[in-house]
Amino acid sequence: MSAPAAVSFSHVAISVPDVDAAITFYEEVFGWYHIAGPLPVTRDGRGGDFSNLLFGRNGKTWTSVRMAHMSTPDRVGVELFEFAEGHEPADDLDCLSHGIFHFGVQCPEVDALIDEVVARGGERITPTLEIPHTDLLGLEKTYRTAYAKDPFGTIFEIYSHSYELQSELPTSM
């Protein structure tokens, strides 16, 4: 049996309390593109059969969801879901539970992006960590990273550099 071909990241789904406000936030703050929606999906209506397979697992009940589709400039999809029964999690950073607990974005101006997030109702979660680094050519650089939360409760990390450059960072600080 041979290994599968390399797998690219396609999209991430984010549950929000207000899909229209989330579209505006991600368009204006992150520069993401609104592709489609919000589209209504009901348990017994269009899209309900497939949605019931996922949203109705393990006895969960749901009645309706409004969903929209967006894309990042580098073509990663973002699905936004507004469930009628949606609620805030008990812990906004449940990093001890298995599964995704944040997503990461790249922006050279980490603090400027966080300032914009805060100005639009979000929150800074950590101070900005500055990491001095000498690259492979001997050039001195400073990488920056910090965590923030959008106005809907989703936590994200901001890198000033590409993710691949993490392999150049020291394994302990």
Whether 42 is in a domain gets the answer yes
Whether 92 is in a domain gets the answer no
What is the pLDDT of the chain when averaged over all its residues? 85
Residues 66 and 108 in one domain: no
- CA separation for the pair 30, 15 (Å, rounded): 17
Confidence of residue 128 (pLDDT cuts 50, 70, 90): very high
Whether 3 is in a domain gets the answer no
pLDDT digits (tens, 9 = 90+) for 76-99: 999 999 988 887 777 777 766 667
Residues 78 and 34 in one domain: yes
pLDDT value, residue 167: 60
Whether 122 is in a domain gets the answer yes
pLDDT value, residue 52: 64
Residues 81 and 17 in one domain: yes
**Which CATH number do you get for residue 126?**
3.10.180.10
Whether 2 is in a domain gets the answer no
Whether 123 is in a domain gets the answer yes
Residues 72 and 37 in one domain: yes
- Give the chain's domain count: 2
Residues 82 and 106 in one domain: no
Instruction: Tell me if 129 sits within 8 A of 144, measured CB to CB.
Output: yes
16-20, 38-42, 60-64, 97-101: which range is least confident on average?
97-101
pLDDT value, residue 5: 82
Residues 163 and 120 in one domain: yes
Range of the domain at 44: 10-86
Residues 108 and 72 in one domain: no
Confidence of residue 1 (pLDDT cuts 50, 70, 90): low
pLDDT digits (tens, 9 = 90+) for 130-159: 988 877 788 888 899 999 999 999 999 999
Share of the chain above pLDDT 70, in %: 88
Whether 93 is in a domain gets the answer no
Q: Where does a domain end: 23, 55, 86?
A: 86
Residues 81 and 108 in one domain: no
The mean pLDDT value for 111-122 works out to 96
Instruction: Tell me if 72 sits within 8 A of 79, measured CB to CB.
Output: no
48-73 burial string, b = 16+ CB within 10 Å, else e?
Answer: beebeeebeeeeeebebbbbbbbebe
- CA separation for the pair 11, 26 (Å, rounded): 15
